[in-house]
């Protein structure tokens, strides 16, 4: 059972990558709190009728800006932004071209800043921004240099934005999940051997599901975390320690 956060009732929430996986779970979680939810994605696999789906390639900053403006027009100025959209493609160092590098930064990092910039401009009474990073930054996983670099950047960006936007009562925090077993992960990367090996790294011996991210994100979006900003919280069943 998810805790109830009264401050989220009626909140205008915008989520990138809300059509499937973790993002779809977050859309459902905010709706259960009574929030007004809009999300941008290439497709809406979850098809939640209570959320506003805005078809959008987040790497197209102009299109993302328009989507956010449509959400604000329908639900009021965005008070909670969740930057979730990402693509954890695997590329070994010898394979990476400038085009691959730029495309990976565009989908995993660049839009985080510009979505935050746009949302913050309308947060006249304060708000919350939650950025999704990854524990791959701390683990240094091979075959993922562009993705790992982007997620290290997200953690730095979170701290920088928290410092600059704090005087405007805008809190900025990050969530760094462990290996979350979305449908995509099961189809593309998960094998019996890899799952077993990763479970050995976890203190809690249960595979993480998308629903496990709902509570931490709701907490950071709500008044319950009113004095928390500039932080990265690992939701990884005890693999890394950012302390």
Partners of 38 in the β-ladder: 14, 52
3-class DSSP state for residue 200? helix
3-class DSSP state for residue 235? strand
Active-site residue flag, 147: yes
3-class DSSP state for residue 135? coil
* CA–CA gap between residue 108 and residue 86 (Å, rounded): 5
The one catalytic residue in 91, 112, 137, 147 is 147
* CA–CA gap between residue 23 and residue 103 (Å, rounded): 21
Please give the backbone phi and psi of residue 81, each rounded to the nearest 5 degrees, phi first: -115, 130
- Which among 89, 136, 90, 147 has a CA at the least distance from the CA of 234? 136
Q: Of how many residues is the chain composed? A: 243
Q: Quick one: tokens of 55?
A: 């078809």
- The residue behind tokens 């160092």 is 93
Q: What distance, in Å, lies between the first and last C-alpha atoms of the chain?
A: 29
* CA–CA gap between residue 20 and residue 42 (Å, rounded): 10
Strands (E), 70-185: 80-83, 127-132, 170-177
Catalytic residues: 147
């Amino acid at each position: 059972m998810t805790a109830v956060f009264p401050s989220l009732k009626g909140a205008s929430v915008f989520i990138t990558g809300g059509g499937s996986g973790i993002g779809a779970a977050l859309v459902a979680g905010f709706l259960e709190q009574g929030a007004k939810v809009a999300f941008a994605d290439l497709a809406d696999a979850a098809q939640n009728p209570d959320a506003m789906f805005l078809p959008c390639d987040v790497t197209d900053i102009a299109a993302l800006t328009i989507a956010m403006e449509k959400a604000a027009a329908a639900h009021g100025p965005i008070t909670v932004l969740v930057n979730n959209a990402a693509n954890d493609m695997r590329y070994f160092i010898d394979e990476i071209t400038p085009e691959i590098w730029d495309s990976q930064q565009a989908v995993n990092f660049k839009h985080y800043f510009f979505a935050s910039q746009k949302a913050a401009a309308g947060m006249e009474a304060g708000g919350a921004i939650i950025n999704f990073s990854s524990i791959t930054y701390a683990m240094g996983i091979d075959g993922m240099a562009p993705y790992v670099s982007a997620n290290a950047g997200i953690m730095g960006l979170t701290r920088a934005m928290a410092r600059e936007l704090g005087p405007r009562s805008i809190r900025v925090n990050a969530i760094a999940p462990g290996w979350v077993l979305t449908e995509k992960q099961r189809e593309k990367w998960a094998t019996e051997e890899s799952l077993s090996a990763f479970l050995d790294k976890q203190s809690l011996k249960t595979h993480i599901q998308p629903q496990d991210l709902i509570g931490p994100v709701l907490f950071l979006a709500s008044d319950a975390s009113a004095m928390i900003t500039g932080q990265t919280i690992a939701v990884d069943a005890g693999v890394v320690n950012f302390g």
